[in-house]
Amino acid sequence: MTTTTPARTTTRMAALVSEIRTVVDRGLAPDLTAYLVGERLAPHLGASDLLTAEQQEGDPDHYRQHILHAEPDGSFSVVALVWMPGQETCIHDHVSWCVAGVHQGEESERRYRLAPGADAARLVATEDVVNAQGEVCGFAPPGDIHKVRNSCTGTAISVHIYGADVSRLGSSIRRVYTLPVD
């Protein structure tokens, strides 16, 4: 995954950041914050003026992360993830609450739960979800183990909002899972 800093912020993105800030500043529980931020994100998805052309550029080798905004106090970040066909994440969880909305294309997500085993823990797939353009999902740890993949034939772009400073951390991933999967 590569990270870039945007050359500029669109007027629409600046408005979305302001809406997110209003929610985050309320200091609500992480799951409620994610839900309310998701409500703010949804109307902007698919709008041609949300991202610049540079912020929609992918990478042929792996999905690409463009940091669109990092709040100065570290309370949230907004990123665009650009996925070429077949690109995917590892199985992972997150450092904070997260909201993801599909701006273009379609993304497949497999969700997991951690299950105890006789000798060691293992992952159990609990749900497969296909998110189309305009759809939003949100979650807060624990219970946020998943893998995301571009399952469509074209480029997919999603906008992610994290309750952490991704520009400082480099990623929202807390832990990568290499356990056996049932």
pLDDT in tens, 105-150: 999 999 999 888 777 888 899 999 999 999 999 988 877 888 999 9
What's the confidence (pLDDT) of residue 161? 97
Give phi and psi for 16, each to the nearest 5.
-60, -45
- 3 close to 67: Cβ distance less than 8 angstroms: yes
The two three-digit tokens of residue 7, written as one number = 């050359």
Peptide bond into 142 cis (omega under 30): yes
User: Position of tokens 């309750």?
Assistant: 163
Pseudo-torsion of CA 30, 169, 63, 89, nearest 10°? -60
End-to-end CA distance of the chain: 27
Question: What mean pLDDT do residues 80-93 have?
Answer: 93
Residue 150 has what DSSP assignment?
E
Residue 45 pLDDT greater than 80, yes or no: yes
What's the confidence (pLDDT) of residue 84? 96
Residue 23 pLDDT greater than 80, yes or no: yes
Q: Using 50, 70 and 90 to split pLDDT, how confident is the model at 70?
A: very high
Question: What mean pLDDT do residues 147-166 have?
Answer: 94
Q: What is the pTM of this model?
A: 0.89
Helix (H/G/I), strand (E/B), else coil: 182:
coil
